[in-house]
């Protein structure tokens, strides 16, 4: 989706709006984003702040992506936008969620640009049995370049009957590399980040109730206050 103005001009417009309407900058940024056809500034910036047209174009076959933010900062919407971008490229797209119902997921997809037009092509899986083994079995034999989003990292091993988080992510890392599937994990950020004075969280701020080597991820996307950064992990 082409913007009406370069993104730096839209930011200036938002700052002016914040002053004239006496509203917080993040609200002004969201208003500008909505005028451009996005539900939130985080989604607009994730697709347009780099030279690439979408985050998907910056990912490689077999990548393990971490999408991390504090609650309410758009990480789920960014994950769903990634799947819509995959659908637009005629790639298989699956959303595995232990957090949302099917209806809640559809409602969130429909808030995104082209969500109503393309959203029914995203496979939504809501089983309580979701784990690494479940995901790998479900995706066995899928075409190369399939994209799957897992919602969310910290509850994959919540049931004691499931393997440890470290075992599951390690298995999915190998699966993604061997099949060319892109796997994205939505992740929580520890609340201590908000007292740290940083503009954006990083790997040190990822909430890890159980042991996990974050070096298993190949890329990470961090969000906070409508800003987005995609980076290599290794």
Cα(210)–Cα(158) distance, rounded to whole angstroms? 10
Please enumerate in sequence order all residues whose Cβ is within 8 A of that of 172, keeping only pairs 6 or more positions apart, or say none. 64, 132, 135, 136, 183
pLDDT band at 7 (very low <50, low <70, confident <90, very high): confident
Place of tokens 């539900």: 39
Domains of the chain are 7-48 (no CATH), 56-232 (3.40.50.300)
What value, to the nearest 5°, has the Cα angle with vertex 156 and ends 97 and 193? Answer: 95
The mean pLDDT of the chain is 92
> Rounded distance, CA 220 to CA 232, Å?
6
Nearest-angstrom CA–CA distance, 84 and 184: 13
pTM: 0.80
- Inter-residue contact 150 to 139 (CB < 8 Å): no
161-194 tens-digit pLDDT? 999 999 999 999 999 999 999 999 999 999 999 8
Crossing angle of helices 102-109 and 75-88, in 10° steps, is 70
The per-residue pLDDT for 113 is: 82
Q: pLDDT tens digits, residue range 105-157?
A: 999 999 898 899 999 999 999 999 999 999 999 999 999 999 999 999 999 99
């Amino acid at each position: 989706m082409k913007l009406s103005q370069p993104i730096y001009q839209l930011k200036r417009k938002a700052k002016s709006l914040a002053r004239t309407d006496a509203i917080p900058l993040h609200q002004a940024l969201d208003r500008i984003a909505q005028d451009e056809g996005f539900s939130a500034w985080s989604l607009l910036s994730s697709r347009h702040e780099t030279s690439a047209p979408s985050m998907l174009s910056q990912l490689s076959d077999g990548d393990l992506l971490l999408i991390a933010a504090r609650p309410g900062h758009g990480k789920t919407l960014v994950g769903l936008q990634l799947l819509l971008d995959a659908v637009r490229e005629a790639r298989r797209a699956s959303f595995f969620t232990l957090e949302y119902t099917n209806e809640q997921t559809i409602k969130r997809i429909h808030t995104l640009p082209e969500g109503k037009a393309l959203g029914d092509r995203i496979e939504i899986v809501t089983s309580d049995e979701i784990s690494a083994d479940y995901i790998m079995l479900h995706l066995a034999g899928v075409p190369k370049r399939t994209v799957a989003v897992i919602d969310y990292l910290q509850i994959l091993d919540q049931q004691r009957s499931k393997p440890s988080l470290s075992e599951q992510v390690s298995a999915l890392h190998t699966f993604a590399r061997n099949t060319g599937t892109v796997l994205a994990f939505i992740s929580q950020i520890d609340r201590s980040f908000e007292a740290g004075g940083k503009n954006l969280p990083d790997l040190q701020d990822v909430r890890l109730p159980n042991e996990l080597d974050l070096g298993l991820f190949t890329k990470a996307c961090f969000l906070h206050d409508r800003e987005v950064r995609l980076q290599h992990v290794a």
